[in-house]
Amino acid sequence: MPSTPPAPDARPLEDATLGPPGVVLLLSGTTALPGADPVGEEERADPAVVARAEARGELVRLRAGVHVERGDWEAMSTRERHLLRIRALARVSPAPVALGGPSAAAVHGLPRLAPW
pLDDT tens, position by position, 2-40: 555 444 444 555 556 677 777 888 888 765 555 555 666
Nearest Cα neighbor of 50 from 33, 38, 40, 62 is 62
Q: In this predicted structure, what is the pLDDT of residue 30?
A: 61
Helix count and strand count (H, E) for the chain:
4, 4
pLDDT digits (tens, 9 = 90+) for 30-41: 655 555 556 667
Domain edges within the chain: 24-29+40-107
List pLDDT tens digits, range 64-98: 999 999 999 999 999 999 999 999 998 888 888 88
Q: In the predicted model, what is the mean pLDDT of the chain? A: 81
